[in-house]
Amino acid sequence: MKKKIEENAIQLSKRLQMSKTLRDIFTSQDSTSLKIAFDALESPIAISEELLESDFNRYFIGPLSPIADPFSSIYLDELDQVMSKSTLKVRALYETMGFSFPQQNQIPDDHIGIELDAYYQLLYIEEVKNIDYLRELRHYFLHEHLNLWIPLFIERALACKEGPSKAMVYILTQLKSFLIRETNTQGVPA
Amino acid sequence: MSYSKEKVDTLLHNGISRRNFLKGLAASGVLSSFPGGLLEANEDLNTKIPYLGEKSYETFRNACPRNCYDTCSIKTFVKDGVMQFIEGAQESTYTRGGCCVKGNSYVKRVYSARRLKYPMLQVGGKGSGQWKRISWDDAMEIIAKKLLEIKKDDGTMLGAALTKYSGNFGITHYGIEGMFNSIGYTTRLAGTPCWPAGIDAQNLDMGNMWCNDPEEMKDSKFIILWGVNPASNSVHSMKYIYEAKKKGAKVVVIDPVFTEMASKSSQYIQIKTGTDGLLALGMQKIIIDAKLHDQKWLDANSKGFKELKEYLDKDIKLDDVSKVTGIPLEMIKELALSFAKAKPATIWMGYGMQRHTNGGSMIRAIDALVAVTGNVGKYAGGARYGHLSTWGFNYAALSMPKPEGSVGYTGPEGAKGEFAHGGGGEKAAYTDRFLNINKTARELLNSKGPKVRLLWVACKNPFSQDFDRNQLIRAFKQLDMVVVADQFFNETAKWADIVLPVATQFEENDVNVSYWHYWLSLNEQAIKPIFEVKSDVQIAALLSKHMNKLEKGSCTFPQSVDTKEMTIKEFNPGIYAQFGIKSWEELKHGPVKAKAVIPYADGKFQTPSGKYEFYSEKALELFGSALPKYLEVRKPYDKFRMTSPHSRWSLHSQFQNLEWMEDVHPEPSVYINPDDAKMKMVNEGDTVAVFNKQGLLRLKAKITDNVQPGTVLMYEQWYNNNIYNVNELVDDTSSDMGAFKTGAPGVALHDTFVNFRKI
């Protein structure tokens, strides 16, 4: 609780704010939390909470086969499987970074929301706490993992031809440009 | 590069490097600096660096709960909480270390990205595809409110209906019926689409359905596999058949289709569909005429042999038998005489044969052939169909009392299905209402007094397995609420208001037995339930919590359950004695087998006369014929007969949606005899329309003389992303028997007629 208060009190950098917002979008569990996170992106798209959620579910959640499953294993290992090799590699990375994951073996460690959570927290200790101990691991995580699958995930989601959702396209574009900025300029706008 | 890949890789894979790194991490202040999210700081690192390297395997006992002869005992290997692979349990001589191709794909099933993950509400209405994720509490509150509304409006819970069948035969899964018992008198889709005509036939003849241990088949001297294809659908039985064959036994396959089993037999006899009963009667006549029947056994153990003989003498003409069955008379004679001379000899009857308008009478005729030759009650003999003799559990999850003051149905009570066991306890003034599961669409549409308003679907995929899709859509749409509890999104879920994600057997505890072999397996929870899936009994408990919150006493199901405790409650001294164990805990060391009993070896039959009944008054009363007389099969109403047997790639609607299966068997086909294909100018791979008065299906043609001229074959399956359901072409015409023991007759699935053309 103390940490939450501290976090809110700090004016986060745009970079940190964006990683947090993207995390919040992909870890949202209901329409209200999704809408709050989406609004934080300050998109020009007006969309109701209900439609936003049903589009989000169609793209990433289900119950029908989502347009793009949000797990790295889908893109890096065998098609259509979770909890496979790359999931466990991410698990080992989290453990080495000093994280514990209470929902381990319930939510795959390589769910995009969890990965963005890790990335946000790593950035946070660097930017806000000035601790560099995990910087190299963060770079490794970005280049050797996130960049290997998230572009494929975005590509698959953007290829949706049946009823493309402007809101989802906006989220994916923001995610894409965040990744590009992190990769090329370490978050500094080019 | 701002990092060294090599260095980090070493860190991840080398225990010493990692320990050193983690020590430094604890000292760096990282742990107290993380802002926190779904990932939390591992505070343990401050005091002790835990072992984080490669873990060893943990093993768990499991069982395959599918509707399959084999009900495999499974050993599951788990590492770091993740299921890695499974193998068949070595302790079971039946499973003997191996699963079938479907079972071996279980890891793929559990971790399929296609699993249902969260409770969802279809906000745009049934079939709209607009889904909202909801919490379990919200889902259960919505359902509980609807149930209580029904009770308030109607004064009874009969407006709530359950359709559940064979998706999971684990004993605690009767807790789904238990859930419905616990809310009051409700409506049940009852009966069985599977094997009821045969169950009735065996009960009329022998007073029970009770097959010999399949492992005895290794010592049989003559085996007839009659309309059964274990090479595809009971692979663990094959080793006994092979062993018998190796020891000199003759293995004969009688089937309208040249199956995988036929290819492995000593002799294959292609019979015209629906004439098997006549062949069996013809064989008996030949055997009795040759005085090769077992008069001594018949005198001691049977009733009505004289009447049977008179019927055979008078009405069965061997030339007609040959003509109708399509089998040369010499071949029939040779088969009959060699079968009669071999001791012990056995016949295994498949479930397809009784899916005809004369199905029950055909099973009775074949039973009679086994009895006439004195092979009933003998080791390695028997008329094999199935058994439920090891199913004597407590059914604690099922047996929930009705809430006080419940009002129910006052019409005539029907039986409840082949696996129905007790429940409810004392005889009440009311009963549940039973609708015919084989006429689901019509029954739902026509239900009155009161009308069905809520349907709960569990362990079943009606849109893949039931009949008359268009009516079914109408029936679902007019219901206030449809709840579908499943592991995958399927055609039925598409027409639901609420879908609930259900656990696999690896995510819950249970206990399993077979309707074929005699082994008992514990099913242990091997992994944490993934995402938000719940076991069926946990769903029932949560529903109970919400019903009681809204109206105290409205549901008697326990409000919280542990699937392990639920499982333990199913055991009793009878089960322990039958299986020779002192406690269920012994099953942690592996499955155990029931003490050997030869069915009917003591000459005691549970028929009214206590004997084997060739002549059954009960049969006369219920079905119009005391003797297993030949009954002509349904007359064709279109150009070609269509049969729809089981595929080896799936189990009814299960497994086919997994990638491994899709790789080898990606889409449905219609199998057509070359003569028919030529006449219709259809080539291999052409898309054809198969149609009749019921509907039309488009699918690829496969040309093969494995099927007879005049017959087309399509497997009954569910394909992911494909609305194919062969049963759309089936009308719901009943088979002759089934109502005696299961409450409703079966469906004459294989008496479907169609036409086809190239498109």
Q: For chain A, how many residues are written? A: 190
* Distance in angstroms (rounded) separating the CA atoms of residues B361 and B529: 46
CATH number of the domain that residue A115 is part of: 1.10.3480.10
Residues 280-339 of B with CB under 8 A from A: none
| Neighbour tally for B449: CB within 10 Å | 10
Confidence of residue B419 (pLDDT cuts 50, 70, 90): low
The proportion of chain B whose per-residue pLDDT surpasses 90, expressed as a percent, equals: 86
Tell me the per-residue pLDDT of B646-678, one tens digit each, with 9 for 90 and over: 988 888 888 887 777 788 888 899 999 999 999
Work out the burial of residue B46: count CB atoms within 10 Å of its CB; fewer than 13 is exposed, 13-18 middle, 19 or more buried. Answer: middle
Q: Which long-range contacts (CB under 8 A, 24 or more apart) does A181-187 make?
A: A181/A15, A182/A15, A182/A142, A183/A142, A183/A143, A183/A147, A186/B2, A187/A13, A187/A15, A187/A123
| Neighbour tally for B105: CB within 10 Å | 18
Inter-chain contact B40–A99, Cβ cutoff 8 Å? Answer: yes
Q: Cis (ω within 30 of 0) for the bond into B344?
A: yes
Nearest chain A residue to B114, by CA: A65
Distances (CA, A) of B15 to A96, A144, B20, B56, B622: 11, 21, 9, 15, 74
Residue B728 has pLDDT above 50, yes or no: yes
Comparing C-alpha atoms, which of B57, B63, B59 is closest to residue B508?
B63
Q: Is A6 contained in some domain?
A: no
Q: B6 touching A, CB under 8 A?
A: no
Tell me the per-residue pLDDT of B32-43, one tens digit each, with 9 for 90 and over: 999 999 999 999
Tell me the per-residue pLDDT of A151-179, one tens digit each, with 9 for 90 and over: 999 999 999 888 899 999 999 999 999 99
Inter-chain contact A58–B33, Cβ cutoff 8 Å? Answer: no
Confidence of residue B423 (pLDDT cuts 50, 70, 90): very low
Please state the rounded mean pLDDT for residues B630-658: 91
Q: Is A3 contained in some domain?
A: no
| Parent domain of A77 | 12-185
* Distance in angstroms (rounded) separating the CA atoms of residues B327 and B332: 7
Least CB-CB distance to B489: which of A63, A99, A114?
A63
Structurally, chain A folds into a number of domains equal to 1
Please state the rounded mean pLDDT for residues B582-598: 97
Phi-psi bin for B255: left (phi > 0), alpha (psi -120 to 50), beta?
beta
Least CB-CB distance to B82: which of A57, A105, A125?
A105
- Cβ proximity of B699 and B435 under 8 Å: no
Distances (CA, A) of A160 to A53, A92, A168: 17, 33, 10
Confidence of residue B415 (pLDDT cuts 50, 70, 90): very low
Pairing, β B222-226 against β B519-523: unpaired
**What Rg value do the Cα atoms of chain A yield, rounded?**
16
Sole residue written with tokens 């004016």: A11
Inter-chain contact B52–A84, Cβ cutoff 8 Å? Answer: no
* Distance in angstroms (rounded) separating the CA atoms of residues B676 and B703: 9
| Beta strand spans in B17-100 (E) | 40-41, 58-63, 73-79, 82-88
Residue B428 has pLDDT above 90, yes or no: no
**Assigned CATH class of B640-758:** mainly beta
Closest Cα of chain B to A180: distance in Å?
Answer: 15
Quick one: pLDDT at residue B501? 98
More reliable by pLDDT, A9 or B36: B36
Residues 648-667 of B with CB under 8 A from A: 659
**CATH placement of domain B156-195+390-593:** 3.40.50.740
Q: Cis (ω within 30 of 0) for the bond into A63?
A: yes
Which of A9-18, A161-170, B240-249, B484-493 has the weakest average pLDDT?
A9-18
Confidence of residue B418 (pLDDT cuts 50, 70, 90): low
Amino acid letter, residue B631:
L
CA dihedral B239, B244, B247, B248 (to 10 degrees): -130
Nearest chain A residue to B119, by CA: A63
Comparing C-alpha atoms, which of A89, A189, A106 is closest to residue A140?
A89
Residue B476 has pLDDT above 70, yes or no: yes
Inter-chain contact B132–A89, Cβ cutoff 8 Å? Answer: no
In b/e form, how buried is each residue of A75-94, taking b as 16+ CB within 10 angstroms? bbbeebbbbbebbbbbbbbb
Q: Is B310 helix (H, G, I), strand (E, B) or coil?
A: helix
* Distance in angstroms (rounded) separating the CA atoms of residues B393 and B284: 39
Tell me the per-residue pLDDT of A65-80, one tens digit each, with 9 for 90 and over: 999 999 999 999 977 8
Q: B135 touching A, CB under 8 A?
A: yes
Residue A2 has pLDDT above 60, yes or no: no
Please state the rounded mean pLDDT for residues B736-745: 90
Angle between helix A49-56 and A31-39 (nearest 10): 100
CA B684 to chain CA centroid, nearest Å: 32
The tokens of A5 are what? 């208060």
Tell me the per-residue pLDDT of B142-172, one tens digit each, with 9 for 90 and over: 999 999 999 999 999 999 999 999 999 999 9
**CATH placement of domain B211-382:** 3.40.228.10
Expressed in angstroms, the distance from the first to the final Cα of chain B is 60
- In chain A, count H helices and then E strands: 10, 1
Distances (CA, A) of B525 to B78, B398, B692: 11, 21, 47
Tell me the per-residue pLDDT of B450-463, one tens digit each, with 9 for 90 and over: 999 999 999 999 99
Sole residue written with tokens 């696996």: B419
Quick one: pLDDT at residue A15? 94
**A84: chain B residues, CB-CB within 8 Å:** 111
Q: Cis (ω within 30 of 0) for the bond into B450?
A: yes
Q: For chain B, how many residues are written? A: 759
- The residues, any chain, with a CB within 8 Å of residue B751's CB and separated by 6 or more, are B274, B355, B356, B357, B633, B634, B641, B733
The reply to whether the predicted model has a pTM over 0.90 is yes
The tokens of B154 are what? 């109607």
Work out the burial of residue A185: count CB atoms within 10 Å of its CB; fewer than 13 is exposed, 13-18 middle, 19 or more buried. Answer: exposed
**What Rg value do the Cα atoms of chain B yield, rounded?**
28
- Cβ proximity of B346 and B223 under 8 Å: yes
Inter-chain contact A63–B116, Cβ cutoff 8 Å? Answer: yes
* Distance in angstroms (rounded) separating the CA atoms of residues B509 and A41: 45
So where are chain B's domains? 5-46, 59-110, 156-195+390-593, 211-382, 640-758
Residue A5 has pLDDT above 60, yes or no: no
Q: Look over chain B and give the mean of its residue pLDDT values, rounded to a whole number.
A: 94
Residue B20 has pLDDT above 80, yes or no: yes
Residue B395 has pLDDT above 50, yes or no: yes
A59 DSSP 8-state letter: I
Inter-chain contact B41–A78, Cβ cutoff 8 Å? Answer: no
Distances (CA, A) of B587 to B71, B518, B583: 15, 14, 8
Which fold, B59-110? Phosphorylase Kinase; domain 1 (3.30.200)
Least CB-CB distance to A133: which of B24, B83, B123?
B24
* Distance in angstroms (rounded) separating the CA atoms of residues B225 and B230: 9
**A135: chain B residues, CB-CB within 8 Å:** 2
Least CB-CB distance to B39: which of A81, A114, A128?
A114
Q: B4 touching A, CB under 8 A?
A: yes
B358 DSSP 8-state letter: T
Quick one: pLDDT at residue A7? 57
Angle between helix B5-13 and A85-97 (nearest 10): 90
CA dihedral B516, B568, B552, B149 (to 10 degrees): -20
Q: Is A101 contained in some domain?
A: yes
